[in-house]
Structure formats: structure tokens, C-alpha cells
Amino acid sequence: MKTPHILIVDDEPNIVMSLEFLMRKNGFQVGIARNGTEALAAIAHTHYDLVLLDVMMPDVDGYQVCQQLRQHPEQAGTKVIFLSAKSRDADVKRGYEVGADLYIPKPFSTRQLMEKVRELLGVAA
């Protein structure tokens, strides 16, 4: 089986760095987008198995990125996990409405995140 490819989308450099380290350490290929525009460009050129997506970004927000991803038939199997400080019920509900597979509020446990990533990708620990 090929190594799953994960796209990390967040405008906070420290979060990107720690998520990239965590995902690479666990054997995944990693792509990085620092905002919604970069995420949409990356998704248009590369197939990702999973996208870790922040909601609040300066240009195109995570909800819009997820909506557009869901409109690409060739990306239909791509899993989306929102990682967001926006944790009100309405925010979480909107995340699922635009097509998220999972919505995890920040701060989150990296152990729990890895469990969920493996679960969604069907990869053993």
C-alpha cells in the first residue's frame, strides 16, 4: 500500500511545524499550505488522502476550502479533519455541513489526533 499523503493547512507556523513533524514521524507524506489559497492550489495539483484544515485563515477560510474540495469528483475520497479554535456548536455544525469527516477543537491531543488520522485512513498503528 502506498504511503498516505496528508495536506496540512494552517496560517500559524508553530502549528504547521508541529503537525508536519508529527505526521512525518508517523510515516506519512506531507504537503503544506499556509492559507486557503495555497490549499486550493495544492488540492488542484496533487491528490491527498487527508487534509488537516484550520477554519480561520486570512484569505479563504477552511469552510470554503472544504466546500471546493468536495466539488472535485477526483478528490471524493479525500478525508477532511478540521482543527479549529472555533468550537461553538454552530461552528462545528457548519464544518460537518461543508463536508468534514471530523471536527477537532484546538487545543487537541496529538495522540488523539493520530488515532483519528489512522482510523480515517484505515492505517494500523
CA distance 114 to 112: 5
The pTM of this model reads: 0.96
Mean pLDDT of the chain: 95
φ, ψ for residue 40, nearest 5 deg = -65, -40
| Per-residue pLDDT tens over the stretch 52-88 | 999 999 899 999 999 999 998 888 899 999 999 999 9
DSSP result, 80-125? EEEEES--SHHHHHHHHHTT-SEEEESS--HHHHHHHHHHHHT---
Decide: 81 and 52 in contact? Cβ < 8 Å: yes
